Chain A
Amino acid sequence: MAVVVVAVMVALAIFTATPVETVTVLPSADGHVGTVVVQRGEAQQVLHEAYATSRSGQTEVTRLSADEVQSTYGRALHALPALPATFLLYFVTGTDELTEESKLELNKVLTAMRARPLPDVLVIGHTDTVGDPAANDRLSAQRAETVKGFLAGIGIPVERIRTAGRGERELLVPTASNVDEPRNRRVEINVR
């Protein structure tokens, strides 16, 4: 009788088996390790070390080896798109003209695009903290549009270019309000 009960329980366990789910945090390309908070019903696990792993049905955080990650996730990881390549351009103060260094950067954008199968370009304008934030939003968007024009001029199709203006939200060099800081007046290009 007991054998039958056990057999039925085993069969039930097999037929009602819930999927096995695992989550593993990986180090980023730059070595940084962030956090994933895994919530399963009432239970919460916080993964914040490289290769820390949460597995359904287990209360302990475990760890996968790099080899185990490769054998389970190798094909998915191989399909990750390349990290966006980032370039910074600066204008000659008070003009719409790029500095000499930035003109060279523009050529690097072309090189980065050739290395990708079907690249798109994001052009993001930034300002320093001089002036009011709303005006800086407009100014940063205008700067991005200007650079979009340059990129179109060197042969990049306009339908593959998007622009954004971040205003003074993302200062490269943190400053107080109303500080004239040339390194903050920049346009960032992401080739993706």
Chain B
Amino acid sequence: MRASLAVILFSVSAAALAADAGEIKVVRGAAHIERGSERLPVKVGMPVQEADRVVTGIDGTVGITFADNSLLSIGPSSNFAIDHYVFDSTTHAGKFDSTLSKGTLAVVSGKMVKQSPDAMHVRTPSAVMGVRGTDFVVRVADH
């Protein structure tokens, strides 16, 4: 009995975690998403979730629209992780943390940042960027 309750609680929290953060809108060339131990080819219409990692090949690019209308695109030979994404569509409160460890990223910030200017951060190996309602690009190069 105790075990089955634990299973129920676990599956509820797993479902809550799996709430979609956004959706793939653009894919060109080779790209995949690492989700847990899975490696999923990126397709238009595919949902993205917190803890997903997007990896693009030498010819790959990916564009994502998030629940709060933030737009992100990932250039070729890149590695980008959605560390944390929550958004309340009633209050527009939320949190969006991501990391670009390699490659290029373009960002158009959305509704969340309009509501709370400290809600969105992009990390690179050496920096943390706080986003206050703007378009910007980031590059992490090996040289």
Contact = CB atoms under 8 A, between A and B. Distances in A.
A83 interface: yes
A21 B106 contact: no
A16 B13 CA distance: 42
B129 to A, nearest CB: 5
Contact of A33 (B64, B90, B134, B141): B134
Interface of B: 23, 25-26, 28, 44-45, 61-65, 69, 71-76, 78, 89-92, 102, 104-106, 108-109, 124-143
Interface in A135-192: 137, 162, 164-167, 169, 190, 192
A84 B111 CA distance: 12
A2 B108 CA distance: 51
Contact of B26 (A26, A41, A81, A166): A81
Main secondary structure of the interface of B (DSSP, over half): strand
Nearest to A169: B91
A18 B125 contact: yes
A34 B129 CA distance: 13
Nearest to A137: B90
B132 A22 contact: no
B89 A35 contact: no
Contacts of B141: 19-22
